[in-house]
Chains A and B, each alone.
Chain A
Amino acid sequence: MKHSFLDHYSDLDSLIHKLDPRTKFIATFAFVLAMVLTPPTRWYAFALYFALIACVILLSKVPPLYVLKRSLVIIPFVLLIAIFIPFFKEGETAGSYNVWMWELKVTYSGLIVLWNVIIKAWLSVLSMIMLSSTTKFSDLLKGLGRLGLPTVMVMILSFMYRYIFVLVDEVIRMRRAWDSRNFGGKRMWQLKTIGNMVGTLFLRSYEKGERVYGAMVARGFDGQTRTLTDLRFQAVDLYYALGFAVVLALIGTTILLGWGS
């Protein structure tokens, strides 16, 4: 079965796709860091951050609607955590409501915290989506390896990426086999069969792990990981990094000068 939910659109051809994964990773990291350090009341700065990421989206040729849709997935989680803050945070009251016998108060400082959490989470997710939809997962792993992530971690991630889809297929097949023989029955009994399925899945993955290790050993694996990297920084990486750094620095200056607050 075809899955590409991790790096959909990563095989397009654009300026952003051509960049070295390391450049993109560092740029993304710098972007998130700068944004997180920005005080929430500099509305101006967030507009600029958004403009910056929008430029990257347009340059990358990834459909903006796709990016938008995926980015919205995170919002319910953030809301779930942050929605109560405006009601509990002490401060100047923005409005109060009487719900039956309760008096609910919303404070300005609480609203700012909520805005802070939502906008930062959303912009971070946008930048992460851009990173993952313009970089093949395998390239990203290579880049991380070259940036100093321990090889064991890189290997674990690469096996995860390789076998998560195999397992998903396995689950889908088991689910189908289950559905085609499931004629109802007590809920407890159904839960029990699901438990058995999870156990079977664990055993199968465990045995698969052993066979994969056998296949590695058969090709000379001795516990040490060696890789070839064909990553190279090009002129375009330099331009992109410089451009990105200049824009971030400009936004930083506006914040320091106190514009838009």
Chain B
Amino acid sequence: MKKAIEIESLSYSYPDGQQALKDVNLSIGVGESVALIGPNGAGKSTLMLHLNGILRSDGMIRVLGEPLEDKNLKRVRSKVGLVFQDPEDQLFSPTVFDDVAFGPINMGYSEDEVRRRVREALEGVGLEGYEGRSPHHLSVGEKKRVAIATILSISPEILVIDEPTSNLDPRAKWELIELLRGLPVTKIVASHDLEMVKALCERTILLDKGKVIADDSTHRIMSNTPLLVRHGLARPDEVSSLKLEA
């Protein structure tokens, strides 16, 4: 199978010396849908920021077979679309149109092409006619969708999404899951929303304290309750609601 992302012995420390990633090795195939789960502070977001070279450190990252280097950074970024957790960070333009058009314009597409891409990206997330709206006045669910549209408009081959369902009500969450399921690209989703992971990804990578703990099918990891409990992803035994009542 062709590889979308290959990571070899990647380590990263924050500027204050705290180690965020320790010797991470991963390989993700084209067309896969992979969940990156782990408790708060496990290093999920840090790992994602490496995938399109926003953070750089020692270790080797190959995107679609190409090693990530300074000279191909721009091309890699057009292949790997990164959707940030807080849409407020992702949407920085005065109108939805400007935001969705930002990527394509930077990629140097012609005006007609930019307009076509914006229209298609907004159609793709079910928000036709939102071009002139101000991102500030959208609901959280709409903001998340626009944030995804800003990435779809550069038609990436790999979609990397950080916590897509955080802050969403159940209806908006399931609508978003449906939307993501329908996108025909390689997906890497960081989350600790196990319900979504089960619905969206066939493979799951468990990350804790910057290390890969498990890498298996979602079904097998989800049925391994002791593992989930150990890494803060399920209710610990000693916290039982029965005891709380007593």
Which residues of chain A have a CB within 8 Å of any CB of chain B? 2-3, 136-138, 141, 158-159, 161-163, 165-166, 208, 211-212, 214-222, 226-228
Contact = CB atoms under 8 A, between A and B. Distances in A.
B88 to A, nearest CB: 6
Tell me if B's interface is mostly helix, strand, loop or mixed. helix
Interface string B113-145: 011000000000000000010111100000000
Interface residues of B, number: 36
A162 B102 contact: no
Contact of B111 (A137, A217, A219, A228): A228
B5 to A, nearest CB: 15
Contacts of B94: 137-138, 141, 158, 161-162
A221 B89 contact: no
A214 B54 contact: yes
Contacts, number: 78
B11 interface: no
29 contacts: A138-B134, A141-B94, A158-B93, A158-B94, A162-B91, A162-B92, A162-B135, A163-B92, A165-B136, A166-B88, A211-B84, A212-B89, A214-B54, A214-B84, A215-B84, A216-B102, A218-B52, A218-B54, A219-B77, A219-B103, A219-B106, A220-B77, A220-B103, A220-B106, A220-B107, A221-B106, A228-B105, A228-B114, A228-B115
B98 A217 contact: no
Interface of B: 49, 52, 54, 74, 77-78, 81-82, 84, 86, 88-95, 98, 101-103, 105-107, 111, 114-115, 132, 134-137, 150-151, 154
A215 B114 contact: no
